[in-house]
Structure 1
Amino acid sequence: MYRILIVDDEKEERNVIRFLLNKFRFELEIVEASNGKGALEELAKNPTDILLTDVKMPFVDGMELATIVREQHPEMEIIFFSGYDDFNFVKKALTLRADNYILKPVKPEEFKQTMTTVIDNIKKHKEEQEKREINQLFIKKHILYRLLNQTPIDVLLNEYPYVNFDFLNDYNRMILIHSDTTFLDNLFEEEIVYLYEQIKEATLDSKYDVINLNPFQIIILFKENPKKLITYRQIAVQIQKKIQSANGIDCVLSISERISSPNQIAQTYSDLEDYLKDRFFYSDVFIYPIDTPLTNREEYKKDEYILQEIEKELQQADTERLQQKIAAIIQKYEKSTETSQVYLRFLFARLLQLFFQIMPEYSKDNMNRYIELIYSYTHFSDIKRTLLDVQNKVIKKLDKEKNSPKHIIEVVKQYIIDNIENDLSLDMLAEKVYLTPGYLSDKFKQETGLGINKYIKQVRMDKAVELLSNTNMKVNEISKAVGYKNASYFIKIFREHFGVSPKKHREMKKL
């Protein structure tokens, strides 16, 4: 129902308008004011769709009132009615974009026609506004969808120059809802609506946007949360329970760290997926990451870094460095009395998981048996013995595979990354691994899907973007740092690759 404010200093005139509105059955909420000052007070309290005002009034006359209203409420419909058939009044009314000017005494049919036109205008404007909002919402969700799928922000800025990307700054936290079944494909439309209602109930008054990322996953992007009494972990627990009980969907959720920049959104989604890898160890845990019992969060981060390094050594079959890092992590915790036993079992179970990725011939049941052993041991020495036993088997396997094409390609890829600032060529790389250029080229493309030169260019561009985003280095310095001695040539290659110059790319990142 629309709302109309009738403003006239004479009660009888207001009664006439009210009578006509009821006579012609206009479904309107009717409010009155006896002068312009009272009208402004009423408008400040409640939104109004139509202002129907007399011209001559004490305190604030109709023209002054309309001028203020037009500035503060540009979409409001304005109708003047007055006993003065004066051209100057009409002219002024036109400048204020009034919808009509009705003379007193009001003629019923003229009044009916005016009100019908005004109400039709309101309906039309609201429909157009709804369409604009739907289109904007669709575009924003599409941008979020592509951003979550690793499309760089600068690419999106180029594709949607008419969109204000400031909305991305509103997001400060993300929750990933994941199921091992394609639950979104299996739900009817009304069931999806009900699913969203369950999420809304669980999040209380939190402001958020929802993206159906794929049939397995929903992403919730939270804005500033006014409910400080409830944590995001508590919200996640409520969502999981409601979805399970109301929709019968088995799901797990992961909660992000705080997001301080739109540039972090894509990486945050990757982190949320990484958190769910720990499900392997916990069949009865539904919210990730698991609260670590470590009192020093920095130590946990150091361990994560070491695990990443161990994974790299496994990929490159660098058995010497692998043994050094395993020995270091064993030494770190062998005599530790402050670290939780739960965390130690979790850490070394993850190490075993990395080992078994190198030995696909071992069944999942076999791997589970080893991990169950880790969780059953009461002494660290037993964990150490089991880990070293599996490590020895892995090293034997890696030593046999050191001359395999896959390992050689990993060595070449790492050499390119480590020496990206230098001149790199197929002949030089082939010489490093004692192969002919033709054979290396064929095997590299077979293993990676890319030619060596294209891979080198991709690494150079990725490194250039990293330096542009995270340092204050000049473009010519970055050019040299990624292996281009000629800055002009570097700028040309960069523009061909990303569609913008390095300078423009850096400027867009700062927006």
Structure 2
Amino acid sequence: MYRILIVDDEKVEREVIHFLLKKFGFELEIMEAANGKEALEKLESCPADILLTDVQMPFVDGMELATKVREKYMGMEIIFFSGHDDFAFVKKALTLRADNYILKPIKPEEFEQTMKKVMDNIRQHKEEQEKREANQEFIKKHILYRLLNQTPIDILQHEYPYLSFDFLNDYKRMILIHSDTAFLENLSEEGTFYLYEQINKAALHARYELIHLNPSQIVLLFKDNSNGLIAYRQVAAQIQQNIHTAYGINCVLSVSKHIENPNHIVQTYSELEDYLKDRFFYADVFIYPIDTPLTDNKEFKEDEYLLREIEKSLQQADTLKLEKEISIIIEKYDKNAKTSQVYLRFLFARLLQLLFQTMPEHSKESMDRYIELIYSYTHFSDIKHTLLEIQRKVIKKLEEDKNSPMHPIEAVKQYVADNIEKDLSLDMLAEKVYLTSGYLSDKFKQETGSGINKYIKQVRMDKADELLSYTNMKVNDISKAVGYSNASYFIRIFREHFGVSPKRYREMKQG
């Protein structure tokens, strides 16, 4: 309900206005003041939407009141009424952007028309303000979306020079929700709303921004950091449980450390993705990173670094570097009786899993058998022998790949371009080029600088851009042509990517 302040030193005049407002059914909260001074005091504690004031009053007259109101309350509607039909008053009233000047005695019909006009103005201004605020919120969310997709902050600042980027400092912690299936793509609008509702219930009224990053991932950026890591892990656990109860899907979630500044947002997202690589060893664990005392161990950190280097060598098919790094890790633990056998088996099982990523011709069951052997051997020499056997096979495969006429990454890109209308999953693409999904994902990102899901989405958006710009195809048909069976989902993803709806984008392109 809107609020009106009636200011007149004559009580009977105020009562007439009050009566007319009720008579014509204007739903307004009504305040009254006998002069300008009293009116300013009331506005301090209770701002109004409409000021209806007499011109001639003691202490502070109507003109002075309107001047002070306009300085402090820019959006307030002002109506003057006076018994003095004086052009000077009217002229000054217009300079103060008064909406009308009503003469006493007030004519009911004139009063009704004036109030209708003022009420329409207020509603229009409110709607415009809400649209501006909603648009600004959308732009901020769009910036977060692009930031997480590795668009540098300086480029975004150049594109949106009118917007302050200070809002990025509000984000203190991040949770990544990941599903191995693209289940988000198949949800209806109602289903998506229900999903967000389940997340919100678990978040316990925390202030956060939800970014629908791709069909498999949602990122939550939290503005509060009063709670510690344990509290956010509990939130993540509740989100996982709510999603499983609602959809029967076991999503995995990773929880970030404190985000120091906006420049760390992209790095934090990458860390969250890296945490999820440990899922291979923990089939029944859904919240990452795993709490383990080894993470504070210097030896463990050195081995983690070495495993990452081995992974890079595999991605780059650098067989000489790979042999050297594996030799280092074997020599480090050969005849080292001080190392925990549990940790040693865990470490070499992880190494074995990295090596198997390059050999998709071997089934997961085959890899599992080798890992079972790692855990069953009684001597380190047996682990060493098995590892070197797999290493020889991997090096042979890498050398063959380097001499192959069709590089696997280029083959994937070509397949995506030729089959953009189809359901393109990571597992399916990996099968096409005879690689494991994990290995293809890492190698694709290493060679292109982009995750495979992000790449597919970019190709789809580029194709949608082309079809909207140069054809008259319906949006529903374009949605299917670029691989989205759900048109509502396509429109939402398109708007997040380009910042406008497909319809508006076509209007802008085709002029």
Same fold (TM over 0.5): yes
Distance in 2 between residues matched to 1:286 and 1:262, nearest whole Å: 27
Match status 1:326 vs 2:326: no
Distance in 2 between residues matched to 1:324 and 1:390, nearest whole Å: 13
Select 1:391's aligned residue among 366, 387, 391: 387
Task: Specify the alignment match of 2:25 in structure 1.
Answer: 25
- Is contact 2:173-2:225 (8 Å) kept? no
Select 1:406's aligned residue among 402, 409, 420: 402
Task: Specify the alignment match of 2:496 in structure 1.
Answer: none
Distance in 1 between residues matched to 2:344 and 2:68, nearest whole Å: 69
Task: Specify the alignment match of 1:466 in structure 2.
Answer: none
Match status 1:262 vs 2:262: yes
Aligned ranges 1:443-454 → 2 under 5 Å: none
Q: What is the CA distance between 1:117 and its match in structure 2?
A: 0.6
Distance in 2 between residues matched to 1:383 and 1:70, nearest whole Å: 86
Q: What is the CA distance between 1:115 and its match in structure 2?
A: 0.8
Task: Specify the alignment match of 1:195 in structure 2.
Answer: 195
Q: What is the CA distance between 1:393 and its match in structure 2?
A: 1.1
Distance in 1 between residues matched to 2:286 and 2:46, nearest whole Å: 46
User: Aligned partner of 1:255: which letter?
Assistant: V
Task: Specify the alignment match of 1:103 in structure 2.
Answer: 103
Change (3 A) 1:217 1:82: same
Distance in 2 between residues matched to 1:299 and 1:83, nearest whole Å: 91
- Is contact 1:207-1:225 (8 Å) kept? no
- Is contact 1:8-1:33 (8 Å) kept? yes
Q: What is the CA distance between 1:262 and its match in structure 2?
A: 2.9
- Is contact 1:319-1:398 (8 Å) kept? no
CA deviation string 1:451-508 (max 9, x = no partner): x9x99xxxxxxxxxxxxxxxxxxxxxxxxxxxxxxxxxxxxxxxxxxxxxxxxxxxxx
CA deviation string 1:95-129 (max 9, x = no partner): 22121222333221121111111111112122222
Distance in 2 between residues matched to 1:116 and 1:226, nearest whole Å: 49
- Is contact 1:355-1:390 (8 Å) kept? no
Change (3 A) 1:85 1:257: same
- Is contact 2:180-2:251 (8 Å) kept? yes
Change (3 A) 1:197 1:52: farther
Distance in 2 between residues matched to 1:358 and 1:44, nearest whole Å: 71
Task: Specify the alignment match of 2:318 in structure 1.
Answer: 316
User: Aligned partner of 1:322: which letter?
Assistant: E
Please give the secondary structure, in 2, of the residue aligned with 1:231: helix
Distance in 2 between residues matched to 1:182 and 1:306, nearest whole Å: 33
User: Aligned partner of 1:93: which letter?
Assistant: A
Q: What is the CA distance between 1:333 and its match in structure 2?
A: 8.1
- Is contact 1:49-1:77 (8 Å) kept? yes
Q: Which moved more, 1:107-116 or 1:131-140?
A: 131-140
CA deviation string 1:238-293 (max 9, x = no partner): 22222232454432211222323333333332222222222222222221112232
Distance in 2 between residues matched to 1:297 and 1:110, nearest whole Å: 83
User: Aligned partner of 1:258: which letter?
Assistant: H
TM-score of the pair, normalised by structure 2: 0.69
Distance in 1 between residues matched to 2:229 and 2:84, nearest whole Å: 61
Distance in 2 between residues matched to 1:390 and 1:206, nearest whole Å: 50
Q: Which moved more, 1:187-196 or 1:66-75?
A: 66-75
- Is contact 1:5-1:48 (8 Å) kept? yes
- Is contact 2:358-2:397 (8 Å) kept? no
Task: Specify the alignment match of 2:338 in structure 1.
Answer: 335
Distance in 1 between residues matched to 2:246 and 2:135, nearest whole Å: 31
Task: Specify the alignment match of 1:7 in structure 2.
Answer: 7
Gaps of 5+ in 1: 410-447, 456-511
Distance in 2 between residues matched to 1:13 and 1:31, nearest whole Å: 14
TM-score of the pair, normalised by structure 1: 0.69
Task: Specify the alignment match of 1:474 in structure 2.
Answer: none
Task: Specify the alignment match of 2:146 in structure 1.
Answer: 146
Q: What is the CA distance between 1:188 and its match in structure 2?
A: 1.8
- Is contact 2:334-2:380 (8 Å) kept? no
Aligned ranges 1:53-452 → 2 under 5 Å: 53-58=53-58, 60-225=60-225, 231-294=231-294, 296=296, 301-314=301-314, 315-317=317-319, 318=321, 320-327=323-330, 330=333, 335-336=338-339, 346-372=346-372, 382=378, 384-385=380-381, 387-398=383-394, 400=396, 404=400, 406=402
Distance in 2 between residues matched to 1:228 and 1:74, nearest whole Å: 43
Please give the secondary structure, in 2, of the residue aligned with 1:209: strand
Distance in 2 between residues matched to 1:99 and 1:216, nearest whole Å: 53
Distance in 2 between residues matched to 1:17 and 1:83, nearest whole Å: 14
Distance in 2 between residues matched to 1:191 and 1:139, nearest whole Å: 24
Distance in 1 between residues matched to 2:300 and 2:61, nearest whole Å: 70
- Is contact 1:292-1:343 (8 Å) kept? no
- Is contact 2:306-2:325 (8 Å) kept? no
Change (3 A) 1:42 1:229: farther
Change (3 A) 1:307 1:60: farther
Distance in 2 between residues matched to 1:243 and 1:201, nearest whole Å: 11
CA deviation string 1:155-210 (max 9, x = no partner): 33444444443333332222111222222222221222222222222223322222
Change (3 A) 1:189 1:403: closer
User: Aligned partner of 1:53: which letter?
Assistant: T
User: Aligned partner of 1:390: which letter?
Assistant: T
User: Aligned partner of 2:2: which letter?
Assistant: Y
- Is contact 1:359-1:394 (8 Å) kept? no
Task: Specify the alignment match of 2:476 in structure 1.
Answer: none
Distance in 2 between residues matched to 1:7 and 1:297, nearest whole Å: 75
What RMSD, in angstroms, separates the aligned Cα atoms of the two structures?
A: 3.6
User: Aligned partner of 2:385: which letter?
Assistant: D
Distance in 2 between residues matched to 1:61 and 1:329, nearest whole Å: 90
Distance in 1 between residues matched to 2:275 and 2:332, nearest whole Å: 21
Distance in 1 between residues matched to 2:113 and 2:103, nearest whole Å: 14
User: Aligned partner of 2:367: which letter?
Assistant: M
Distance in 2 between residues matched to 1:116 and 1:103, nearest whole Å: 17
User: Aligned partner of 2:73: which letter?
Assistant: H
Q: What is the CA distance between 1:34 and its match in structure 2?
A: 4.0
Change (3 A) 1:344 1:247: same
- Is contact 1:99-1:118 (8 Å) kept? yes
Report sequence identity in percent: 65
